[in-house]
């Protein structure tokens, strides 16, 4: 009798486990070799890109040239970020990776920003960079920073504010990989003081403990051109 009850119990456990696995199963990976991004379709949007007919895919859909070329850094930030995402390489669609080249003039910086959809891993190939990120409020907004030289690598967790700055008198170059085909970028100052329409000045003045006149000035600096 005990043996029969034990078998019934084991059978129920196995059935429960199978039922649970069937309910929670899903496809964590792409269901085909590739899904090269096709041209936009009018009035239809998807979370990503439409796929080309595989028969029309060529090697050019998986390639991009020019990351060996130094970029122009004669701007007020003294930096230039060349992003190679799914919009540059259609073959990245559904693959969850992308790349960027970062050029820095003397004293140039990539100001505090976030990537809402990707973790970033950065390697310095020329010069020295001061890099860092800030943890969340739950971790008391701790700053993790380090000076990187050629060959050093640093990781910026997804969604956290981070920055890079050239700390040498020569140009600096770095390359970054992202865990998304389209990581996105939100520069903090641009988003806060340059939104369209503008965040009310009273909100920003209280949030940053600033005079309303200074907030008005920052709206002019970071906002869209007035002409």
Which structural domains are found in the chain, ordered by start? 59-184 (2.60.120.10), 194-222 (no CATH)
Give the 3-state secondary structure of residue 39: coil
How do beta strands 162-166 and 79-84 pair?
A: unpaired
Return the pLDDT at 11: 53
C-alpha 141/C-alpha 139 separation (Å) is 6
Measured CA to CA, the distance from residue 182 to residue 87 in angstroms comes to 8
Residue 114 pLDDT: 97
120 is in an annotated binding site: yes
Distance CA(204)–CA(220), nearest Å, equals: 14
User: Does 113 count as an annotated binding residue?
Assistant: yes
Q: How many CB atoms lie within 10 A of CB 44?
A: 7
pTM (two decimals): 0.82
- pLDDT tens, per residue, the chain with 227 residues: 555 544 555 455 444 444 444 444 555 566 567 778 877 666 566 778 888 999 999 999 999 999 999 999 999 999 999 999 999 999 999 999 999 999 999 999 999 999 999 999 999 999 999 999 999 999 999 999 999 999 999 999 999 999 999 999 999 999 999 999 999 999 999 999 999 999 999 999 999 999 999 999 999 999 876 54
**Rounded CA separation 141/138 (Å):** 7
Residue the block writes with tokens 């140039």: 108
Residue 22: φ, ψ to 5°: -65, -40
The dihedral sign for the CA sequence 141, 143, 144, 148 = positive
What tokens does 115 get? Answer: 């990537």
Which of 94, 95, 102 minimizes the C-alpha distance to 121? 102
């Amino acid at each position: 009798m005990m043996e029969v009850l034990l078998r019934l119990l084991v059978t129920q456990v196995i059935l429960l486990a199978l039922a649970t696995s069937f309910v929670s199963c899903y496809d964590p990976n792409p269901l085909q070799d590739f899904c090269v991004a096709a041209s936009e379709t009018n009035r239809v949007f998807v979370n990503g890109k439409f796929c080309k007919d595989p028969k029309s895919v060529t090697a050019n859909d998986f390639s991009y040239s020019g990351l060996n070329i130094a970029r122009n850094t004669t701007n007020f930030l003294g930096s230039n970020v060349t992003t190679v995402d799914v919009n540059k390489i259609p073959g990245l669609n559904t693959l969850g990776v992308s790349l960027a080249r970062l050029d820095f003039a003397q004293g140039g910086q990539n100001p505090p920003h976030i990537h809402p959809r990707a973790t970033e891993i950065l390697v310095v190939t020329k010069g020295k960079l001061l890099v860092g990120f800030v943890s969340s409020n739950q971790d008391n907004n701790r700053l993790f920073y380090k000076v990187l030289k050629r060959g050093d690598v640093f990781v910026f967790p997804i969604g956290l504010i981070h920055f890079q700055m050239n700390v040498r008198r020569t140009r600096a170059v770095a390359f970054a990989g992202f865990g998304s085909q389209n990581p996105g970028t939100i520069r903090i100052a641009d988003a806060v003081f340059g939104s369209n329409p503008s965040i009310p000045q009273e909100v920003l003045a209280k949030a940053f403990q600033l005079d309303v006149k200074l907030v008005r000035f920052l709206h002019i600096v970071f906002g869209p051109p007035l002409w």
